[in-house]
């Protein structure tokens, strides 16, 4: 009988068993891959940091530099181990052609810098993690471009300066600990010292990286304060060792995290499937279990029959998953190998994925053990007498049928069953709720991002045209002439110049920090404030939400601003949401000082009869190289790639979510039909047709689906909104309000869900026909 049960169990559940096998295998595959990625990532990253001798603190600086001041600071600071100032030649993409392409890097989003190899640290490495050494005419190109432009060793790089062209040959690709990741928008090209000197004659725009290595890395924040307190060059952002680590690990780390999440999801689904199939199997075998108990087979042995099957299945699928991970892991780690190189692997690197797979296996086995505790509850007599485990407590308290004057009997029985066994249906309800939730939240987010109202979260007012002008040598002059032109332009209804300058602000911890303040008249193009209003007087300031929290300042409170040796006492007039510039911005009406100005923006509204796009084209030519944007397309430009990704992810989530709903609903019904076999036969014997019974199941499932979908939708609007707000507030928009398209969210999405559950129920209940009534009734 033992073998018979095991074979029967496989035969009646062929598809489910194969499905379970696949789920566990995929889960093992993913968890092994993810842990492998993490191990390899940390190994390779540490290796790269070591080999390149990464700096601990880097201040970027644009403008003239005084080396003696830096030297004096270094000698006065004992924690500085090494210091070097790297000069980087900024060359505009329009002057550079990579490989044999005909077009330049004009449209590149990257800032391109040319450097020499560094003498003492921050080495630029080649793909073998060796320090790059170049001769005249040779160039080493960042790895980013190898992928982006499909470059290979030996390809040419052409640099044009006026009428002069110089061509270099690619001999290496640069692994750059500071600027490696695609996320970092600057890239360093390496040329020989001599070529560098030649290039410098043609390109005057240079930036400096003032780099430090410390004797003790833990004193980084102390050093940072000391640097900021000094009068050292600081026209530009600072980066440090921790940031290099984070940025280098981010892309692959996020991939690993997503894979782990996917694996956990698969695991949960696998366990749910396991639960429903095991309950169904135990239900169907109930009488046989009773017989086995009655004839004295010990419980442990009975359990062993069921365990054996699942242990064999879990072990083989986990093993297969692990082996598959060895086959595919190179796909996942190719990026790591390319960008970070490979370190010689440690024993741990092999051990951790094995351990992770072992956890998957252990979880399945443990879950089976827990499920089989149900066997304890079966008494031989009970099993033989009733033939089914009537475990769930029935609730007959509902208003009886005899007092229902109008309700259809099938509907009554369907509802009655759901009410009576709500605990059992609860799990399905919960799953359908989660499935709805994870669909609606990204759909709402997508609609919110696509909505023109999203401008509220970007710290800008609504205007027709926006002009961006970055600081460079002659920007100030260009800006002033631009304003003169705009003033004379008859097509323009109103415009507002805004200048962003770097100030110092006294932080809540008493340390002076940098603060970018945009100055201008914010009443011309008003933005929306969470609290308060736009700054109106020269001593008023509006803070972005993140800055307000960082500085611990509320409405009406005062803060100290420092610029050019003078201190200003400012009052907070308003707080607004902003996800641009890392969420840290401020707005005030401070006098314009060209020395501290970093970038310029002009917001413009044209007169009603003027065509905006024509104006954009006109200004693009007139004010070159300023960036002219039609504000309608500003959102789609800035958020375009994010929206595209989110749309893809949403479609994927919808597909997965619906697939899970189908799977779980059908397995749940399989279990339910096994449990209800005798009740179904009774109904049929007294004259209920199969159609009647299917309708009852339809009522039950649609009731649960309706309830689940409703709760899921409500949760998405409340809890989901909350989650998005938490994430949003990290980026600077703490009060994101979902823009909801009711037709989608309350209309066709729930409809599709209900339809999917309905069709699944219809298909699943087709199998009732196979079970004859006579067999059940004569027992």
Partner 1 sequence: MKGDGEMYILEASGLSKAYSSGQGAKQLVLREIQLQIAQGEFVAVMGPSGSGKSTLLYTISGMDGISAGRVVFKGREISSLAEEELAKLRLHGMGFIFQQMHLLKNLNIRDNIILPAYRANKNRRGSINKKAAELMKRTGIAALAERDITQVSGGQMQRAAICRALINEPDILFGDEPTGALNSKAAGEIMEIIAEIHQTGTTILLVTHDTKVAAQAERVLYMLDGSIAAEHRLGRYEKRNNDLKAREEKLTAWLMNMGF
Q: From CA 393, how far away is CA 473, in angstroms rounded?
A: 81
Angle at 62 between CA 57 and CA 66, to 5 degrees: 75
**Positive/negative CA dihedral, 352, 354, 358, 360:** positive
Q: Is 491 in the site for partner 1 (CB under 8 A)?
A: no
Under the criterion CB under 8 A, does residue 684 sit at the interface with partner 1? Answer: yes
Environment class of 203 (CB within 10 Å of its CB; exposed 0-12, middle 13-18, buried 19+): middle
* Site for partner 1, residues 689 to 718, rule: CB under 8 A: 689-692
Backbone angles phi, psi at 164, to 5 degrees: -85, 140
Stretch that binds partner 1, among 26-34, 57-65, 398-406, 756-764 (CB under 8 A): 398-406
CB of 252 to partner 1, least distance (A): 55
- Contact between 765 and partner 1 by CB under 8 A: the answer reads no
Distance between CA atoms of residues 156 and 164, nearest Å: 16
Q: What is the DSSP string of 433-498?
A: HHHHHHHHHHHHHHHHHHSGGGGGGBT----SEEEEEE--TTHHHHHHHHHHHHHH-TTEEEEEEE
Smallest separation (angstroms) from partner 1 to the CB of 691:
6
Of 225, 244, 242, 247, the C-alpha closest to 234 is: 225
Ranges within 356-395 binding partner 1 (CB under 8 A): 390, 394-395
Q: Which of 11, 376, 396, 566 binds partner 1 (CB under 8 A)?
A: 396
Q: Give me the least distance between CB of 647 and partner 1, in Å please.
A: 47
Binding residues among 714-743 for partner 1 as defined by CB under 8 A: none
β-pairing, 164-174 with 156-161? Answer: antiparallel
- How many CB atoms neighbour CB 428 within 10 A? 26
Omega prior to 625 cis, within 30 of 0: yes
Among residues 197, 206, 238, 191, the alpha carbon closest in space to that of 92 is found at 206
| Nearer of residues 591 and 687 to partner 1, judged by Cβ | 687
Q: What does the alpha-carbon distance between residue 287 and residue 285 come to, in Å, rounded to a whole number?
A: 6
Quote the tokens at residue 660: 């899970």
Q: Which of 683, 716, 733, 757 binds partner 1 (CB under 8 A)?
A: 683
- 11 lines the binding site for partner 1 (CB under 8 A): no
List the one residue from 681, 713, 760, 764 that touches partner 1 (CB under 8 A): 681
**Given candidates 137, 253, 420, 582, which one binds partner 1 under the rule CB under 8 A?**
420
Q: Among residues 78, 564, 608, 687, which is the contact residue for partner 1, using CB under 8 A? A: 687
Identify which of residues 291 and 690 has a Cβ nearer to partner 1 in the complex.
Answer: 690
The answer to whether residue 778 forms part of the interface with partner 1 (CB under 8 A) is yes
**Among 73-81, 217-225, 408-416, 757-765, which window interacts with partner 1 (CB under 8 A)?**
408-416
> Does residue 474 bind partner 1 (CB under 8 A)?
no
Residues paired with 156 in a beta bridge: 169
- Mark the segment that binds partner 1 (CB under 8 A) among 451-459, 611-619, 620-628, 765-773: 765-773
Q: Do the Cβ atoms of 445 and 729 come closer than 8 Å?
A: no
Single residue of 254, 409, 614, 652 touching partner 1 by CB under 8 A? 409
Least distance to partner 1, CB of residue 707, Å:
19
**Size, binding site for partner 1 by CB under 8 A:** 36
Least distance from C-beta 396 to partner 1, angstroms? 5
Binding mask 651-680 for partner 1 (x = CB under 8 A): ---------------------------xx-
Q: Which is nearer to partner 1, 595 or 769 (CB)?
A: 769
Distance CA 157, CA 152 (A): 11
Q: At what angle do helices 422-450 and 721-731 cross, to 10 degrees?
A: 40
Which chain residues interact with partner 1 by CB under 8 A?
A: 390, 394-396, 400-402, 404-405, 409-410, 416-417, 420-421, 678-679, 681-692, 769, 772-774, 777-779
């Amino acid at each position: 009988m033992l073998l018979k049960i095991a074979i029967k169990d496989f035969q009646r559940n062929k598809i489910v068993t194969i499905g379970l096998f696949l789920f566990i295998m995929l889960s093992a595959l993913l968890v092994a891959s993810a842990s492998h990625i993490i191990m390899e990532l940390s190994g390779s990253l540490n290796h790269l940091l070591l080999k390149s001798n990464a700096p601990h603190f880097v201040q970027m600086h644009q403008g003239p530099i005084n080396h003696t001041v830096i030297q004096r600071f270094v000698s006065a600071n004992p924690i500085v181990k090494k210091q070097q100032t790297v000069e980087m030649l900024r060359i505009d993409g329009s002057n550079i052609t990579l490989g044999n392409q005909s077009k330049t890097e004009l449209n590149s989003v990257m800032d391109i810098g040319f450097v020499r190899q560094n003498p003492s640290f921050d080495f630029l490495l080649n793909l073998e993690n060796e320090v790059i050494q170049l001769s005249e005419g040779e160039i080493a190109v960042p790895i980013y471009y190898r992928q982006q432009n499909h470059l290979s060793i030996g390809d040419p790089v052409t640099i044009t300066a006026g009428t002069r062209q110089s061509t270099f040959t690619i001999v290496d690709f640069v692994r750059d600990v500071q600027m490696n990741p695609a996320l970092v928008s600057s890239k360093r090209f390496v040329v020989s010292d001599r070529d560098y000197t030649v290039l410098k004659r043609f390109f005057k725009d240079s930036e400096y990286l003032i780099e430090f290595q410390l004797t003790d890395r833990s004193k980084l924040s102390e050093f940072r304060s000391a640097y900021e307190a000094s009068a050292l060059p600081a026209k530009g952002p600072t980066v440090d060792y921790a940031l290099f680590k984070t940025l280098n690990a981010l892309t692959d780390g996020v991939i690993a995290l997503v894979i782990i999440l996917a694996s956990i999801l698969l695991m949960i689904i696998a366990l749910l499937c396991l639960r429903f199939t095991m309950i169904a199997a135990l239900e169907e075998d109930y009488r046989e279990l009773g017989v086995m108990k009655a004839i004295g087979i010990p419980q442990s042995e009975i359990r062993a029959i069921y365990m054996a099957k699942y242990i064999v299945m879990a072990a083989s699928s986990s093993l297969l998953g692990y082996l598959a991970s060895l086959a595919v892991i190179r796909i996942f780690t190719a990026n790591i190998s390319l960008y970070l190189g490979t370190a010689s692997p440690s024993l741990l690197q092999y051990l951790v994925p094995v351990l992770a797979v072992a956890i998957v296996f252990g979880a399945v086995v443990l879950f089976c053990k827990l499920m089989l505790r149900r066997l304890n509850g079966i008494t031989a007599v009970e099993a033989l007498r009733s033939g089914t485990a009537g475990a769930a407590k029935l609730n007959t308290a509902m208003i009886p049928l005899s007092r229902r004057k109008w309700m259809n009997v099938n509907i009554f029985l369907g509802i009655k069953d759901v009410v009576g066994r709500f605990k059992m249906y609860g799990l399905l309800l919960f799953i359908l709720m989660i499935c709805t939730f994870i669909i609606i939240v990204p759909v709402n987010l997508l609609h919110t991002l696509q909505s023109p109202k999203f401008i509220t979260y970007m710290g800008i007012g609504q205007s027709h045209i926006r002009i961006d002008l970055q600081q460079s040598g002659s920007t100030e002059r260009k800006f002033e002439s631009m304003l003169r032109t705009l003033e004379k332009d008859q097509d323009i209804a109103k415009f507002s110049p805004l200048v962003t300058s770097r100030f110092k602000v006294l932080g809540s911890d008493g340390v002076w920090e940098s603060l970018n303040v945009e100055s201008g008249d914010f009443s011309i193009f008003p933005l929306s404030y969470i609290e308060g209003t736009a700054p109106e007087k020269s001593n008023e300031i509006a803070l972005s939400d993140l800055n307000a929290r960082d500085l611990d300042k509320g409405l009406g409170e005062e803060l100290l601003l420092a610029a050019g040796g003078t201190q200003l006492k400012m009052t907070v007039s308003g707080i607004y949401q902003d996800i641009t510039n890392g969420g840290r911005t401020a707005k005030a009406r401070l006098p314009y000082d060209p020395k501290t100005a970093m970038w310029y923006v002009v917001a413009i509204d044209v007169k009603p009869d003027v065509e905006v796009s024509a104006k954009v084209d006109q200004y693009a030519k007139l004010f070159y190289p300023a960036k002219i944007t039609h504000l309608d397309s500003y959102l789609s430009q800035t958020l375009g790639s994010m929206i595209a990704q989110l749309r893809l992810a949403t479609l994927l989530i919808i597909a997965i979510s619906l697939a899970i709903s189908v799977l779980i609903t059908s397995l749940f019904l399989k279990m339910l039909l096994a449990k209800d076999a005798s009740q179904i036969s009774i109904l049929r014997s007294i004259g209920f047709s199969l159609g009647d019974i299917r309708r009852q199941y339809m009522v039950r499932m649609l009731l649960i689906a309706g309830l689940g979908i409703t709760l899921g939708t409500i949760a998405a609007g409340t809890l989901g909104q909350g989650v998005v707000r938490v994430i949003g507030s990290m980026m600077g928009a703490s009060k994101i309000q979902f823009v909801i398209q009711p037709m989608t969210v309350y209309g066709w999405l729930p409809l599709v869900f209900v339809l999917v559950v309905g069709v699944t129920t219809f298909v699943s209940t087709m199998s009732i026909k196979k079970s004859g009534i006579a067999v059940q009734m004569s027992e």
